[in-house]
Chains A and B, each alone.
Chain A
Amino acid sequence: MSAKNSEVKKLVDKKYRHGFVTDIGSDTIPPGLNEDVIRLISHKKDEPQFMLDWRLKAYRYWETLREPDWAMLNIDPIDYQDISYYSAPKQNDDGPKSLDEVDPKLLETYEKLGIPLHERAALAGVAVDAVFDSVSVTTTFREKLADAGVIFCPFSDAVKDYPELIEKYLGTVVPYRDNFFAALNSAVFSDGSFVYIPKGVRCPMELSTYFRINEAKTGQFERTLIIADEGSHVSYLEGCTAPMRDENQLHAAVVELIIHKEAEIKYSTVQNWYPGDEEGRGGIYNFVTKRADCRGTNSKVSWTQIEAGSAITWKYPSCVLRGENSVGEFYSVAVTNNMQQADTGTKMLHIGANSRSTIISKGISAGHAQQSYRGLVKILPTAHNARNHTQCDSLLMGKQSGAHTFPYMEIKNPTAIVEHEATTSKIADDQLFYCRQRGLSEEDAVNMIVNGFCKEVFRELPMEFAVEAQALLNVSLEGAVG
């Protein structure tokens, strides 16, 4: 018996591997939110006036809003005055100029997370922007990308270096009036990534941003903007982790994608924020607004997300299919274990003729976790011959977990074809027994069955990350059966 207990403990202990804290001096502003705080953030980032004006408009609008309550989530009240809205590791006044000037502790942190930032050690073919709390620490391969005409840099640099692009595109996909968390983000966002792929360019590398929350009592409010100009192509991946703490921390991000004629963006997420402990103490609130605007003919966006972490996830990466023949795809695996909650899905808004969308959502719920798929397919009168296919599967493990499906459809064009399939199943005892009879341990059997269930989504991930995602899923579900 005691052997078994120590086995179990070993599993639990290794469950969240990224829960460490980096001990580093930081410049953290006191908790609280008001116009002065916003001015301070904008000042720290040395922003042009238009940026500050926009932030203030967003803030004033946010003050008139209330938190959304339509999701199937149980959220403890958030005290927005008790959060610090800016925290940066201490460094030279104007920030490090090269990697040699970056605090070794930061480099070590990313090393530990499996993201080496030295270009010679980096994963072949992947450029990384490393965001630590409110600032970007470094962005690798900037020169190599610049040779191809690709801009990949921290958002704060972009505001200074390419203000005309920012002013032209910022908030055009997710306006600050979009929702409560988008308004908050617009007011206080600190860093994130900016990508511009010029006409006809196929980005020579995978781009990725790695978000790390380190400081306690802070929120992370990053903002990402990707513009794929006509005929261009880019694949982008984001990853996220945070230390283990007993308090909840807020992460409210906004991602805007703009896809012009004949262009394509593939956007993948491996979300592994700290999920809280078994009793539901601590963990990240992951309240995120992501939207892609397919503006031109034949433009295409593909969202792939592996949502494994966070105490609460509220997230609906969406596609506005404006262009004729534009294509939107959403592939999702969401895993909730213990006391985690997730309300996630997508919106497909068909405006252009012959626009097509595919939704494949795989939800896995274990322990006491509750999970909802919420998806809207809306076909406007202009969207002749629009097509949507939705497939939405849930897998339950254990008796206390729950899965819910909320599909919404609004079809205003009679030529549209919309299909929806949904299944809910349990990991059947006989499947487990079958695998174990062949010689797999119970744990390996669960992993194999779950990975089989998620296969259609995993194969959409860039190769380098598919293996990582699979391993992450296995770790997230450790101890879920038995």
Chain B
Amino acid sequence: MLNIDNLHANAGDTEILKGLNLSIGTGEVHAIMGPNGSGKSTLAHVLAGRDGYEVTGGTVTFLGTELLDMLPEERAWHGIFLGFQYPIEIPGVNNTYLLKAALNARQKFRGEPEIDAAQFLRVIKDKARLMQMEQSFLNRSVNEGFSGGEKKRNEIFQMAVLEPRLAILDETDSGLDIDALKIVAAGINALRSEDRSFLIVTHYQRLLDYIEPDFVHVLAGGRIIKSGDKSLALELEAKGYDWVLDETATPG
């Protein structure tokens, strides 16, 4: 589904991603862990097409097409979803309204008619129930006045409505209380399917207790320096990152 080959990217004048390779197959769940400042959010933003980063080398293909040539909205229409580490507040813009506009933009891109209003309402009510969100959240302005945990829950709710092919979730678990973590994990699990893949950025094993990843990667210094299965996450939790860094340090 996603193929990242030798990706180099700058933020400002600093090179952050330094030859990153990663392949995600259809239906797979990949977790990325790594020290603060190692480039995890940068990777997520570059994949989603955020301004302010310059790709200086490498390629990314998504479902067979060159991802890096596309505008952010085109990537969304092709099925990329980014759950933000810090979700943005948009005063005066109704949560439901944003989602409806987003869905209709994608319908238009696909040459399909606008979604039926009644059906849309049913969908969002279902998904809100899944995320155990009060109906009132649907009609509030996007993230405005939401608590940190509510914002994260809203991200997963949006993902559930938009049904992307690849969901990139940047620290969705940070700032969640224990109950909310379970709800978010259940929401993600409910969306796991054969044709949907996940790239989950997290610092903690506890999320992975609920969402079992197929692969775990360590991102450090702008590269994936180690990959393994779910046991790698447990090992990192127990031992920290130093041993991986030492193990992979290149002499000279």
Q: Do the two shown chains form a genuine complex with each other?
A: yes
Q: Using A438-B98, A440-B102 as known contacts, say yes or no to A430 and B88 having CB atoms under 8 A apart.
A: yes
Give the residue of A433, A434, A438 whose beta carbon is less than 8 angstroms from that of B162.
A438
A68 CA / B113 CA spacing, docked (Å): 55
A437 near B72: Cβ-Cβ < 8 Å: yes
Cβ–Cβ contact A437 & B90, under 8 A:
no
A179 within 8 Å of B by Cβ? Answer: no
Query: Known: A435-B98, A448-B98, A452-B141. Contact between A440 and B105, CB under 8 A?
Result: yes
How many Å from the CB of A383 to the closest CB on chain B? 33
A440 cross-chain contacts in B, Cβ below 8 A = 73, 98, 101-102, 105
- B77 contacts A439, CB within 8 Å? yes
Q: Which residues does chain A contribute within 8 Å of B87, judged by CB atoms?
A: 434
Interface set, chain A 438-473, CB cutoff 8 A to B: 438-442, 444, 448-449, 451-456
A275 CB to nearest chain B CB (Å): 24
Min C-beta distance of A469 to chain B, whole Å: 14
Q: Which residues of A contact B103 (CB under 8 A)?
A: 439
Which residues of B, 106-136, contact A by the 8 Å Cβ criterion?
106
Is A439 a contact of B76 with CB atoms below 8 Å?
yes
Q: Once the chains bind, are B88 and A434 in contact (CB under 8 Å)?
A: yes
Q: What residue in chain A is nearest B80 (Cβ atoms)? A: A437
B88 contacts across to A, CB distance below 8 A: 428, 430-431, 433-434
Contact assessment for A433 and B51 in the assembled complex, using a CB-CB cutoff below 8 Å: yes
Residue-wise, chain B 35-70 has the 8 Å CB interface mask toward A (1 for contact) of 000000000000011111000000000000000000
Closest chain B CB from A361 CB (angstroms): 15
Contact of A439 among B84, B97, B105, B141 (CB under 8 A): B105
**A436 near B: Cβ within 8 Å?**
yes
Residue on B nearest A452 in the bound complex, by CB: B92
Closest to A448 in B: B93
Shortest CB distance A68–B (Å): 34
The CA of A431 and the CA of B93, in the complex, are separated in Å by 11
Cβ-defined contact, A438 with B158, below 8 A:
yes
Residues of chain B in range 1-39 having any CB-CB distance to chain A below 8 Å: none
Q: B138: CB under 8 A from chain A? A: no
CB pair B90–A455 under 8 Å, yes or no, is no
A442 partner residues in chain B, CB cutoff 8 A? 71, 73
Question: Is residue A429 within 8 Å, beta carbon to beta carbon, of the partner chain?
Answer: yes
The reply to whether A439 and B93 form a contact with Cβ atoms under 8 Å apart is no
B114–chain A nearest beta-carbon distance, Å: 13
Let me know if B93 and A452 touch, CB within 8 A.
yes
Question: How many A-B pairs with Cβ below 8 Å?
Answer: 78
Interface residues on B, range: 20 to 34
Q: Report yes or no: A436 in contact with B72, Cβ–Cβ below 8 A.
A: yes
The answer to whether A454 and B105 touch across the interface, beta carbons within 8 angstroms, is no
Question: What are the residues of chain A within 8 A of B52 when measuring CB–CB?
Answer: 429
Is B90 in contact with A438, judged by CB distance below 8 angstroms? Answer: no
Q: What residue in chain B is nearest A362 (Cβ atoms)?
A: B92
Judge whether B76 and A436 touch: CB under 8 Å. yes
Contact of A429 among B51, B101, B162 (CB under 8 A): B51
| Binary interface encoding of chain A residues 96-118 relative to chain B, with 1 for a CB under 8 A from any of its CBs, else 0 | 00000000000000000000000
Q: How far is the CB of A480 from chain B (nearest CB, A)?
A: 17
Closest chain A residue to B86, Cβ basis? A430
Closest chain A residue, CB of each to CB of B50: A433
Select from chain B the residue with minimum beta-carbon distance to A430: B88
Contact between B82 and A437 (Cβ–Cβ < 8 Å)?
yes
Q: How far is the CA of A438 from the CA of B90 in the complex (A)?
A: 13
CA distance A449 to B88 in the complex (A): 12
- Enumerate chain B residues within 8 angstroms of A455, measured Cβ to Cβ: 92
**Chain A residues near B99 (CB-CB < 8 A):** 438
Q: Is B228 an interface residue (CB 8 A)?
A: no
Whether B90 lies near A444 (C-beta < 8 A) is no
Nearest Cβ on chain A to B157's Cβ, whole angstroms: 12
Contact B76 A438 (CB under 8 A): yes
- Distance (Å) between the CB of B105 and the closest chain A CB? 5
Measured between beta carbons, the chain A residues less than 8 angstroms from B102 are 435, 438-440
Q: Measured between alpha carbons, how far is A442 from B105 in the docked complex, in Å?
A: 11
| Closest partner residue, chain A, to B143 (CB atom) | A434
Q: A435-B98, A438-B162, A439-B106 are in contact. Are A452 and B91 (CB under 8 A)?
A: yes
Q: How far is the CB of A452 from chain B (nearest CB, A)?
A: 3
Chain B residues whose C-beta falls within 8 Å of the C-beta of A448 in the assembled complex: 90, 93, 97-98, 101
The smallest C-beta distance from B39 to any residue of chain A, in angstroms, reads 18
> Are B48 and A453 touching (Cβ within 8 A)?
no
Q: In this complex, what residue of A is CB-closest to B75? A: A437
A452 to B82, CA, bound (A): 23
Known: A433-B51, A434-B84, A437-B82. A449 touches B105 (CB 8 A): no
Q: Which residues of the partner chain A approach B49 to less than 8 Å between Cβ atoms?
A: 436-437
Which residue from B48, B84, B92, B158 sits with its C-beta under 8 Å from A454?
B92
- Nearest residue (CB) in A for B51 is A429
A370 to chain B, nearest CB (A): 24
Q: CA–CA, A431 to B90, complex, Å?
A: 7
A–B complex contacts, Cβ < 8 Å, 27 sampled: A428-B88, A429-B51, A429-B52, A431-B88, A431-B90, A433-B48, A433-B50, A434-B142, A435-B98, A436-B73, A437-B72, A437-B73, A437-B75, A437-B81, A438-B158, A439-B73, A439-B77, A439-B105, A440-B101, A440-B105, A441-B73, A448-B90, A448-B98, A448-B101, A452-B90, A452-B93, A456-B92
* B residues apposed to A, CB below 8 Å: 48-52, 71-73, 75-77, 81-82, 84, 87-88, 90-93, 97-99, 101-103, 105-106, 141-142, 158, 162
Q: What are the 8 tightest A-B residue pairs by CB atom distance, in nearest-first order?
A: A452-B92, A452-B93, A439-B76, A439-B102, A455-B92, A438-B102, A434-B88, A436-B72
Apart from A437-B49, A438-B76, list 20 A-B contacts with CB within 8 A: A431-B90, A433-B48, A434-B84, A435-B90, A436-B49, A436-B73, A436-B76, A437-B76, A439-B76, A439-B103, A439-B105, A439-B106, A440-B101, A448-B90, A448-B93, A448-B98, A451-B92, A453-B92, A454-B92, A455-B92
